[in-house]
Amino acid sequence: MAEAIVSAILEQMTAITIDKAIEAWSLVQGAEKEVKRLETNFKALRLELEDAEEKEYVDKRVKHWLDKFRDVSYDMEDVLDEWETAVQQLQTDPSGSASVRKWKVRPFVSCFSSGSQVVRRYNIATKIKEVNEEVDEIVKDKVRFELIQRKIKQPKRPQTTSFVDVSGLIGRDAMKDEIISILLCDYKCRNVPTITLVGMGGIGKTALAQLIYNDHRIQTHFSKTIWVCASDPFDQTQIARAILGDLDPDSLISLKTPTLQSVLSKISEKLTREKFLFVFDDVWTDRDQDWETLKVAFKYGMPGSCILVTTRKESVARRMESPHVVPLQLLSEEMCWLILSQKAFSGRSQASREILEDIGMEIANKCKGLPLAAKTIGGLLQDKQGREEWQNVLNNVIWKSSFAHEIFSPLLLSYYDLPSPIRQCLSYCAIFPKSFTIYKDELIQCWMAQGYLNSDDNRRTELKGEDYFKYLATRSFFQDFEKDTSGSIISCKMHDMVHEFVQFLAEHRFVTEVVARNSLSSKRVRHLRLAIPSWDASPLSICLREKLRSLVVVSDGLTSGDALQDLFSRSKLLRFLEFDRLRLRPEQIAGGMKNLIHLRYLSLISCSGLENLPESVCELINLQSLNLRDCLDLKKLAVGMGKLINLRYLCIKDCPLLSYYPKGIRHLTSLTRLSGIKMRVDQSDGNEFSIGDLENLDLLGGNLCVELIGDELNWAEAKRAKLHNKIHLKRTDIRICSPNIKKEEVLKALNPPSTLLVELFDYQKWFHFNEDRIERMKIKEKIRVALIVQKEALKILDACSSGSRKSTSG
């Protein structure tokens, strides 16, 4: 993850050193030497960072060193942001010779809105020099402590075998029988059929394979059964030798210098007389070239031969061309309890069991269906004697516990297998609470706001985010997928144990907690999610940090204007800001918003009281994402929306009162997602957005949902939309808000390409849809008000109770 940060910084420093703008370079006079020195240090460190990351969880000194390095890297990103801002401000200054132009946001780029005179006050060269001095110290520490060169015992992928006490394997009998019934069918096909068991680390894939392998029906049906542990590094020759050694040890010995060619020749010869079952356990490689030669040799087996594979990656099943892919499900709480109790109560008396059983059941529930977690914690409980010790295990957050590393070892293996840029994307998910519904598009925008999706291609950035999401999804880091009608993922969740794991990874940097008044657990926090029961005494002012990069505030209470102004004035380095369910007034955010010069993502989800979007939001020209989903009181967008030239994501779904969409939206040609917009279809005037204003928004992708306003169809305006140029769109839903406009006319006027799926809803369907939407809005508002009333009532009761206690004591 740190390696990915450094790569992005080096890319940005290259832009500094090659920039020839004389007037811009004057801002950093004397900085060239410092930048070169910094670049040299960063390049030297990058070569060793990934190795260091794999050691930080087993060596505290390495972790401390990496934490210091990450802090300095963040500081360097901020300096580079100021540099790019200064360059941009000078080159777009109306008083200069250059005209105002459109600037694309690159990673860590931001732009001040307050004028070039403010920018020029920044001595960026001095800041670069200060960062350089810190990096020099970090380099010295690396050498002084020999942090990277020291050999540290790493978590290794254990070598598995078929030998196991099957009586201790619980909870998979039904699935075992189902898979055995498939294996016992004598397939007659050209290639040997493969069954692949897929699931996250610790879910019990190996245990299930062992159950199947040792079943008497399998041992009777197949003339040869061979177990191969295929963990990384994947070695074709070693695997082939292991197979031949099991098939015919004498043949292997007879090969004086066994090459892959000679070993495979012997295997294919022996398999012609065998109906075999090969079990390849813990397969990680999904490269075709690793399997091709082996698969060719296996096809010489007798009819009815089979291959059973276990893996964490769905891509392995595709490479193996498996006709049967079996995703393993989580175990029930009862099964987890049986596994845990089997270990924890080994050698204990019945009386001891009765004393501890109730706590043990609660601890088993924390395993969330993962048998390896139940087995591991059960083993740890063997040494805990009394209720107090068991209660401490129950009360401990797993990722903060002394046994966290042991619990998370399987997940650490999956984590280290990820490319460095994707590691930081996974770690960012620590900002979400448990069981949170994560919307894929919003998550990708979060990654983009932090600069995790570097790409020279403007369109490629979101596609890279899609690739990263799929990469994590196919490796079981996400689950509970909600999909649209075309099968594309809309949202997902994380398994509780995976969530605990990312908290473990992101310790101190990411904090998610409920804040009462004067508490915040980490002073080094960079990404913060706060649930604030009450805004009394401005709790934000207590816990804010000047170096915050992400802030999510969730509260059902009334907003403190002073706390918001304090936020805007102090947390100027924010890249991502979300207010969820707050009651906001436009003037509360209008004043200080311009200070957030680094902001890429602004989210005001489910905020009430916000009747119009303040014009000051439009000064955030670096803004890439604006999410106004479920703002029930919102009636009007800002007139100056067209200034947000770098906006890529605009979500205004489920804002039923929103009726004004400014004409300036047509200038947002970087938009790749546009959700929930009304547009005029009867005319084009100078104030409101019309369907023809889609004309130049050719980067739009995904699903576009629009409502057509007006009593008649202006054919020329509809044709001006040029839907045939929207090649990235997958689907368009069009709701017609007038009985005078027919679906057939709209379809003919728009003339969409045959590749674009268009769903049209006539007035009658729109009318019912709108009624349902308004009804949902009323219900949401009633629930919100009821919660506020309930909280106020509880406050009054607490006050009365406190007063009563005081009078009694008096």
DSSP codes, 165-179 = -GGG--S-HHHHHHH
Strands 649-651 and 625-627: parallel
287 token code pair: 């490269």
Residues of the chain with pLDDT under 50: 16-27, 92-122, 149-154, 517-518, 537-538, 542, 806, 810
What pLDDT score was predicted for residue 530?
83
What is 501-765's CATH superfamily? Ribonuclease Inhibitor (3.80.10.10)
Q: Rg (Cα) of the chain, in Å, rounded?
A: 30
Q: Is the dihedral of CA 391, 392, 396, 402 positive or negative?
A: negative
Measured CA to CA, the distance from residue 89 to residue 112 in angstroms comes to 7
Is-same-fold flag (172-327; 501-765)? Answer: no
What is 172-327's CATH superfamily? P-loop containing nucleotide triphosphate hydrolases (3.40.50.300)
What pLDDT score was predicted for residue 210?
93
What pLDDT score was predicted for residue 119?
38
DSSP 233-273: SP-HHHHHHHHHHHH-HHHHHH-SS--HHHHHHHHHHHHTT
Classify residue 230 by its DSSP letter: -
Walk across the sheet containing 489-493 and list its strands. 438-439, 489-493, 479-483
Residue 109's nearest CA partner among 568, 648, 622 is: 622
Classify residue 693 by its DSSP letter: G
Measured CA to CA, the distance from residue 111 to residue 100 in angstroms comes to 13
CB atoms within 10 A of CB 94: 9
- % the chain with pLDDT above 90: 26
419 token code pair: 């490319």
Mind listing the pLDDT tens digit for each residue in 646-698? 899 999 988 888 989 999 999 999 999 998 899 999 887 778 999 999 999 99
Instruction: Give the SS3 label for residue 37.
Output: helix
486 token code pair: 């075309």
- In sequence order, which residues have a C-beta less than 8 Å from that of residue 656 and are 6 or more positions away? 632, 770, 773, 774, 777
What pLDDT score was predicted for residue 534?
62
What pLDDT score was predicted for residue 31?
61
Measured CA to CA, the distance from residue 729 to residue 759 in angstroms comes to 13
How many Cα atoms sit within 13 Å of 441 on the Cβ side?
A: 20
Cβ-in-10-Å burial (0-12, 13-18, 19+) of 140 comes to: exposed
What residue ranges do the domains of the chain occupy?
Answer: 1-91+114-143, 172-327, 418-495, 501-765, 766-795
